[in-house]
Structure 1
Amino acid sequence: MTTLPTSMTIMTNLICLITCFNQFSSFLSLANFQTLCFSDTAPPSPVTISDFSDEILLNILRYIPSHDLVLNVSRACRKLRTLCLDKSLTAHINLHKEYTATDEAVRHLLKELSTEIQTLNVSGCYWLAGSTLDQVTRCKSLVRLDLSGCRVTPVRLSRLLTSLQCLRSLALDIGPKFDLQQLNAEGKAALARLHELKQTLLTPSYGVVPCCSALRSLRLYLEASESWQESGACAQLMVGQSSVPHYQNLRWFSARLAPGEVNRTLLALYLAVFSMRVPAGLIGLVLFVPGPAPPRPAAVAALTESMASAAGSTVRALQLPRTWLDGAGLMRVLAHGCPAYLNLSRCSAPGFNPLHVLLATGRDLSPLRSLNLRGCGRGALPENCSRGEEEMDAESVKSLIECCPRFTHLNLSATHYHHHAPADQDGHLCGALGRLTHLRSLALPVCALAQRAPVMANESHSGSDLSSGSLLLGLKKSRRIGLPIYQPDVGALGEVREEAAASCIRPLLKGCPHLVELELIGAGFLSAMPRNEPAIRKDPAACPWACQVGDSQLAALGNLRFLRRLTLAHLPGVLKGTGLLQLVQGCKDLQMLSLANLGSIKTVNYTQALLEALKLCTQLRDFRLEQPYFNANAAFFEALSHCRLLHRLCLVSRQGTFQLPAVLTFMQSCTEVIMFHMFMGGTLADCKTLQKTLVEGLSASRPALSVVVHPLLHEDLGRVIRDTPLCHLDEITLFKSRVAEEPTALYGRERSTV
């Protein structure tokens, strides 16, 4: 039996205490809570909240939203008020995803803790009014401020920067009407003192970068829409010397692009400065460009050469678009040490296998913690399962695992892995993955869980007495070549076969029991709702090996007791969904669940099991379901209403249907839901009616409410998506693999070195 680490044991006990505390405090009124815990007249009790040490109570209070601590918990008694104002709780305020934080609550929080707050994160709080953000000027000791997703005008930014003299890190959005010239002199002087800047550019602009002469870290999110390309806005950035960004002190540079030519042009303008000024000692270079890569800039070679060239520095993170990275460039970077984060997504090309370069360097690869090999294989499949898809270089992956035993995040999706060895022979990929005891997030292709090759219909009937020349062949029902014919197993023999089918997963489950995030995505899967393009009307073909992965494998995943985030996409082998039900019975603390194209496409056979599974997901916060021909009826929403902690719901279904009264009843009963995005069938008028009814009826009580109801196949879908808050759009509405996608945790740990 695997022994849990001490930290994991402490965390488990802490979660139990938090659960008991939340149930206890929600059951009692404030007066009863005071009486029971601290009154002399309270009846004797074996254990009360006051019996816990201050250290334990502080650990519990860290999991309570900051505004609740100040407005509610601190009023319970004198002891709790003292603890709620402890510096460990008040110095770092994080309101990200705190959807119940109203303007009044945030203003009161900033007023109470104005002298204590050093870092403030209100990213994604798009509902906060400008007058609430003005209260941030009270926090004179603020060092880090994240305003991503909030509406910030140049005038308001000037007031903030003028008051926050200690500010060294800033994150904000740059909208279409943002004009740098409207900043006052004090604001520009404050920008010159910044060391870290994160900009989300909703319009082609340099934002505030020209004023930030001391930047050490620059993170860009380019989200400009295609409408700006027609106006020639990018050309305006070339005018004036003041528009040239400052990179001389830069040590970390990252840029993530939304699809669109305007964002590619904008990135080229930012990178052009590197051809004139190449920073010395760059330790992080992360560039994500979706779709075909643009032409390689001349400065890329100089950038890779300069990485970690300064004495005493080592590379922390590297990602470049495909065709920008070759074997020589990767070798130059690895010559200065192995980075902790490496994203080689779809970087393989004829004559260039990144895994071979990694293994051939002779360097110590043990520092590597996060590796993204999505779509990175050794070439096209010999079986030609689908055009342009890569076959996983499994032997190189196994060798790399031997060199990097401390992997934390690993993405191997968008490739095919076909295990041709006999069932009783060792060597399956899951056996190698089981040696990664520190693994916390993993993305795999669905076919990687298949134990053996599929039995094709033409093979299973090869022994028939009917010859190819028989006249009776014309009377036979035609079979679809290449797809396995399912024959249900019954009795003890069926149980043995199901046990054998899931046997290859056992080493993974046994070796990685603390896995928190798991993605199983069918190779070649494409969501029906892309970013800036019309909805996809044709379902992608499934890998025949993926048809061998079904309910028995899903049931086995229920042994991952610490699983919090689960994505299942394109599993044609799922029949009745009984495995999904067994999975959620074991993974009781699932907080995010994303399901897409399970089982038969035109016949949703797992509906009943899904309804039973949802009733058990009591900790679920985010739920995304993408399934053609799905019927979102009253039974579905009644089952979903058992998820009392649900915050965000996204339904995507081509030719799907919904019942308007069922939606209204669900939204009225589930008061925690603040995001309802539904892209299904139906008329535009019906969708607008439902959206208007929800917005008008619930906005007053839910300030963070985001409702989007639109026909999936409507031509205006792209425009509707662009108006959606980016925090919801990027995190749940749009489907994508998120394992090892960003070095977020790494960036936080390495901030002191940057």
Structure 2
Amino acid sequence: MDDSVFNHLPDDILLRIILFLPQRWWYNLRQVNKRLNIICMDKSIFRYSNFCCAFGLSETMLAEYTRCGGLYVETLNLNHCYWLTSTALSTCVSRCRNLHHLFLLNTKITVKGLCKIISTIPGIQSLAVSINDILEFTREIKSIEVVQTGLRNLEHFWIHFIEDPPHNVPTYLSFHVSQQTTLFEYCPSLQSFHVLGQPGSSYLISKQLIQPLIIKKEHLTNLKVLSINSTNDATARMFFFGILMVALEKGVQLQLLRVPGLSLNTFTRKKEFLHTLQTSMANIEEIDFSKVHWDGLDNGLSFECAARLRSLNLSEMREEKLDLSRFTACSSLTSLNLRGKIQPLGYRIWTQEVLDSLRSLVTSCRHLQHLNLSGIHDHSSRGQQNIVSVICAGNIRLKSLSLVTCGLATDQSKQTREQDAKQAIQIGNKRLRVGATAWSSAAVPSTSSATSGCGALEVESSDKETQGDLGRLVTACPDLTHLEIINVGFTNSVLHMYQNPKKSIYEPCKESYDLNDLQIVLLSKLKNLQYLQLTGLPGVRSSQSLMVIGEACQQLQKLSLAYLGLAGVSNITSSLWKALPCFKNSLKDLRIEQPNLKLDELFFESCRNLQCLERLCVISKNTTIKQAPIEKFVGEVPLLHMIHLFTDSPYNLCDKIQSSLNKRYVTERPGFTAVIFPLQHDRLPQVLVDIQLNHLQEMTLLNSLVCSEKV
């Protein structure tokens, strides 16, 4: 350190640098030398303490942190620190006497531990917790007066309902229905209320169905935010909508409303719901109507008044007719989610009429930065406008975008496509039938040239770089940081929540075959790309385009690949390992769902190059694994804290590998979790339920993440 350039920097500059570093590094930074130890004690470091998903944070580190700077902590985020015990959490948090905002989602905090924190720190304004037994939580609040006093200043509240796993629920029908008073009786200043339930569809009947009983209804008059995530958890939904109906009676003025899955046609408070929304239009900033069943949305609300609306989610909304041009008055719109928006008669394809209204919307909303248009086919003919032309016409600087594969295909006439579809392509010793444009192997470098460097696949001329819809899109949106290309024909992953694994549904349209390696390589021009998902690209035949992307996109932190190439073609599955070392500089999350993937020594040897990797999830049918290469890989990637492998390997082998990894690294790497399980096992649904919420939604399950709320 004596010869370091840091010796020539003043303390205030070093402090600014430290403020940009992850909070979990604090413990090790102060061990470097005396000077850094003094700087690390500055109170500005402790004021906003963010340990969300802080893999590697031990109880000793957290205890030392709160002992040194607990009095300066105003915001403490421990969301998804699921490995810390309730005793450690309650002890450490209780030291932060000036705490105002506390986040404990997906942690082991117990009801008694939470009550200890609330009684010790009376000034909490924001609180986020995960609760396993809402009845116990209610009883504790009612019985401890000091806890009731501590809730008086609460303004923002998040509650995550944790359902018991299926194997803990009795087979006979047994559940509890009751009316219970809630913490709202003690929170006169509450402004926002958020509910989180388990994702996916549960076939179970919840054991606790709580109808919230609100006696002091005047405490809800200040509510401006009402939110529930996309869940079928009966406990969470009954609790939330019970609060919602009482809030509607009080005529609240909302700034944010998330009600995914609401069937407004059968909602008992439909009239009050519409009145509240209409009177809130001038101030509302975010609306989530995803999966909402609503006939006549056009007639029910005046979005022309929603000048402050910033986020609108209409994904998979069941509504017969919706004129998107009605939202052109929402000039402040920054996020728009139209994923899988069902067109009339349920036919998911962009018509020229709908594209016209979308064009008007995109042109008017100049501040639009996040756009999700996946889940709807784009089969526009030559000369007609398509999704890409609509986006380019808007002249907007998108940051995140989700599109369909067929909407990015090379502009070809129908006659040419049908002629090429009849051709057969010779690959190796196999002859394959392809329902898409044939491409010559001469257009892609040989394997030997590809292995000589990550950037082997080059586009021959600047004209070819800009040709086609994907080239125009990359030119029009150079600032993209998050991009998803998802095939509409892919509607079901192998993994399903609460269900035994079924055959994945993947029926790509013939237009999607035109998006091939020479177009995909254009993504390498997106230098700011941080997240990339490629799902269902049958026209991709080699891993060389991925190699170019990995070499060029140095900021890429998350990569999700699923069902690339054609079924039965081994080019991708056998050579994917060659592309992985090209992502070694910054990749933290890697998810691969690919049938017939070779998870051999070569694959895990390539993964060992990813020294920044924190999470790995691989799902592959017709694939087996071996213990030695997996253990060597985990041992040589020090930052890895999550590994999920779902294959067709036998249960005994999977259990042996999983037990070995967890036993070895659970103490050495706090937060480490390994799930190795066979795809066709009957207990797979139970295993999925036990996976931590953040890993489940972000890695294990295949989802579109653009314009979606992060847990």
TM bucket, shorter chain: 0.7 to 0.9
Give CA-to-partner distance per residue, 1:289-322, whole Å, 9 cap, x none.
Answer: 3xx95864132442342247379x6111111242
Match of 1:515 among 480, 483, 495: 480
- Residue aligning to 2:700: 733
- Residue aligning to 2:190: 215
The structure-2 alpha-carbon separation of the partners of 1:460 and 1:440, relative to structure 1 and needing over 3 Å to count, comes to same
Distance, in Å, in 1 between the alignment partners of 2:191 and 2:470 is 44
Match of 1:440 among 399, 421, 434: 399
Match of 2:411 among 446, 452, 462: 452
Q: Secondary structure at the match of 1:552?
A: helix
Q: More deviation in 672-681 or 202-211?
A: 202-211
Q: Secondary structure at the match of 1:72?
A: helix
1:500 deviates by 7.2
1:297-312 alignment runs, 5 A limit: 297-307=267-277, 309=279
Distance, in Å, in 2 between the alignment partners of 1:450 and 1:373 is 20
Q: Which amino acid aligns with 1:286?
A: R
Structure 1 unaligned runs (5+)?
Answer: 1-32, 38-47, 381-386, 465-476, 745-754
CA contact (8 A) 1:677 1:709 kept: yes
Match of 1:168 among 125, 131, 135: 125
- Residue aligning to 1:524: 489
Match of 2:319 among 349, 357, 366: 349
Percent of pairs with identical residues = 24
Q: Secondary structure at the match of 2:357?
A: helix
Match of 1:694 among 661, 674, 677: 661
1:430 deviates by 2.7
Distance, in Å, in 2 between the alignment partners of 1:700 and 1:225 is 31
The count of residues paired between Structure 1 and Structure 2 equals: 667
**Residue 578, structure 1, aligned to residue 553, structure 2:** no
Q: Secondary structure at the match of 2:675?
A: strand
**Residue 605, structure 1, aligned to residue 571, structure 2:** yes
1:515 deviates by 1.1
The structure-2 alpha-carbon separation of the partners of 1:293 and 1:570, relative to structure 1 and needing over 3 Å to count, comes to farther
- Residue aligning to 1:539: 505
Q: Secondary structure at the match of 2:674?
A: strand
1:667 deviates by 1.2
1:290-329 alignment runs, 5 A limit: 293=263, 296-307=266-277, 309=279, 314-320=283-289, 321-324=291-294, 326-328=296-298
Match of 2:617 among 650, 665, 676: 650
Distance, in Å, in 1 between the alignment partners of 2:54 and 2:514 is 41
Give CA-to-partner distance per residue, 1:1-47, whole Å, 9 cap, x none.
Answer: xxxxxxxxxxxxxxxxxxxxxxxxxxxxxxxx1x224xxxxxxxxxx
CA contact (8 A) 1:174 1:200 kept: yes
1:666 deviates by 0.9
Distance, in Å, in 2 between the alignment partners of 1:510 and 1:635 is 36
**Residue 503, structure 1, aligned to residue 471, structure 2:** no
Give CA-to-partner distance per residue, 1:512-552, whole Å, 9 cap, x none.
Answer: 22211101111132221122222231432002111111211
- Residue aligning to 2:231: 258
Q: Which amino acid aligns with 2:606?
A: A
Distance, in Å, in 2 between the alignment partners of 1:105 and 1:463 is 64
CA contact (8 A) 1:125 1:150 kept: yes
Match of 1:562 among 519, 528, 536: 528
Q: More deviation in 455-464 or 648-657?
A: 455-464
Distance, in Å, in 2 between the alignment partners of 1:654 and 1:627 is 7
Distance, in Å, in 1 between the alignment partners of 2:692 and 2:287 is 28
Distance, in Å, in 2 between the alignment partners of 1:112 and 1:87 is 10
Distance, in Å, in 1 between the alignment partners of 2:421 and 2:36 is 76
Distance, in Å, in 2 between the alignment partners of 1:310 and 1:258 is 25
1:581 deviates by 1.2
Q: CA RMSD in A?
A: 3.3
**Residue 125, structure 1, aligned to residue 86, structure 2:** no
The structure-2 alpha-carbon separation of the partners of 1:278 and 1:99, relative to structure 1 and needing over 3 Å to count, comes to same
1:269 deviates by 3.4
**Residue 282, structure 1, aligned to residue 246, structure 2:** no
TM-score scaled to structure 2, two decimals? Answer: 0.86
CA contact (8 A) 2:379 2:511 kept: yes
Match of 1:269 among 225, 242, 255: 242
1:441 deviates by 0.8
- Residue aligning to 2:66: 110
**Residue 405, structure 1, aligned to residue 366, structure 2:** yes
Give CA-to-partner distance per residue, 1:729-751, whole Å, 9 cap, x none.
Answer: 1121111111111289xxxxxxx
1:96 deviates by 1.0
CA contact (8 A) 1:366 1:405 kept: yes
Match of 1:57 among 14, 17, 26: 14
The structure-2 alpha-carbon separation of the partners of 1:577 and 1:497, relative to structure 1 and needing over 3 Å to count, comes to farther
1:192 deviates by 3.0
Q: Secondary structure at the match of 1:398?
A: helix
CA contact (8 A) 2:79 2:106 kept: yes
TM-score scaled to structure 1, two decimals? Answer: 0.81
- Residue aligning to 1:249: 222
CA contact (8 A) 1:287 1:319 kept: yes
Distance, in Å, in 2 between the alignment partners of 1:173 and 1:109 is 23
CA contact (8 A) 2:378 2:386 kept: no
Q: Which amino acid aligns with 2:137?
A: D
1:28-43 alignment runs, 5 A limit: 33=1, 35-37=2-4
Q: Secondary structure at the match of 2:99?
A: coil
- Residue aligning to 1:152: 109
The structure-2 alpha-carbon separation of the partners of 1:276 and 1:77, relative to structure 1 and needing over 3 Å to count, comes to same
- Residue aligning to 2:427: none
The structure-2 alpha-carbon separation of the partners of 1:267 and 1:603, relative to structure 1 and needing over 3 Å to count, comes to farther
Distance, in Å, in 2 between the alignment partners of 1:527 and 1:575 is 21
- Residue aligning to 1:188: 148
